[in-house]
Structure formats: structure tokens, C-alpha cells
Amino acid sequence: MYDLTGFQRDLLYVIAGLDDPHGLAIKEELEEYYEKEIHHGRLYPNLDTLVDKGLVEKGQQDRRTNFYTMTRRGRREIDARSDWESQYLTA
């Protein structure tokens, strides 16, 4: 996970927290968090990067809608990141 951008990590966390979300649901979650519009040109290339790295799988709901699912590797990466963060955040 060390080689992901902050935005890509946020994408991974959103996907982990939702049940097989489609791109628009991910976009809406991030727009709420960032409090600004997330453009498709930023969202989908970064989702594809997560797929290419084997952290997320992309499936097709219909001809226009893809959904995203965490892989085991993606879950392990999130767990490892959480462990790493907790060593610095616990008092």
C-alpha cells in the first residue's frame, strides 16, 4: 500500500466499507468526504490502478455499470496499513 496515493487509499477504504459498490456510489462517498466534486477522469483511472495492482476486482453489473470488490490482497493491505497506523496513534 506504500506505493498508493492518498486518493487511491481512500478509494480502497470506501470499497472495503461498501457492498460491491459501483463507480457512482464510490464517487458520492468521496465527494461527501472531500466536500468537492470528483471528476470521472480522476476516479476511474485510479480505480483501474487498484484493479491492475490486484487490490480490487472489477465486475460488470450491466453494459454501463461496473462494480468493485476487494480482493484478499486488498483486505490484507488495509489490515497491514491499519496495524502500522495504530502503532503511531495509540497512546
Does any domain span residue 57? Answer: yes
Report the b/e string of 18-41 with b at 16+ CB within 10 A: beebbbebbbebbeeeeeeebeee
Say how many domains are in the chain.
1
Is 90 within the bounds of a domain? Answer: no
What type of residue is 13?
A: Y
pLDDT tens digit string along 33-83? 999 999 999 999 999 999 999 999 999 988 888 999 999 999 999 999 999
Domain that holds residue 53: 6-84
Q: Are 30 and 14 in contact (CB under 8 A)?
A: yes
CATH number of the domain within which 50 lies: 1.10.10.10
Between CA 37 and CA 41, with CA 39 as vertex, the angle to 5 degrees is: 165
In a domain, 89, yes or no: no
pLDDT in tens, 1-35: 889 999 999 999 999 999 989 999 999 999 999 99
β-partners of residue 56 are: 70
Helices then strands (H, E): number in the chain? 4, 2
For residue 50, being part of any structural domain is answered with yes
In this structure, is residue 67 part of a structural domain? yes
